[in-house]
Amino acid sequence: MIFVREGDIYKVARLTTAQDNLLGIGFAATNIPVQVFEWECDNESPRLTSSAEVLQQVMKGLNEINGQLGQSYRLSKIYFLPTESAANLVYKFLTMELIKRVDRKEPFTLVKDGRVIVPMHV
């Protein structure tokens, strides 16, 4: 998996031979409604998932990882590609892996103005 931070958005990409997925999340200091955004993609590719499905999986992952870690992470934003499949609860898994990395203060690759700067610790 690849972990990237661009501004206040934390991203994880999982590339496999069977299924590729990209997820971005923004954290919130308080409980606020989570906004879900679709990253732009070409119009020729079929839509394989919906905002509602991704939101449901991400919130399941958030609740589960908060319980495991004894934390209270909150989200403000979710980003995804609608042309990627949500099969096998992949967005739940990606959410949990991303938050574990943040919680452990493990490095993310920093991207600024579309350019990779350096791997950085959160």
Tell whether pTM > 0.95: no
* Spatial separation of the C-alpha atoms in residues 116 and 105, rounded to whole Å: 19
* Spatial separation of the C-alpha atoms in residues 104 and 122, rounded to whole Å: 9
Reference 4, options 23, 32, 19; nearest CA is 23
The 3-class SS string of 38-87 reads: ECCCCCCCCCCCCHHHHHHHHHHHHHHHHHHHCCCCEEEEEEECCCCCCH
**Residue 64 above 80 pLDDT?**
yes
With contact defined as beta carbons under 8 Å apart, do 55 and 78 qualify?
Answer: yes
Summarize the confidence of residues 60-72 as an average pLDDT.
97
Q: Which of 37-46, 71-80, 113-122 comes out lowest in average pLDDT?
A: 113-122
Assign 78 a pLDDT band (cuts: 50, 70, 90). very high
Summarize the confidence of residues 1-17 as an average pLDDT.
85
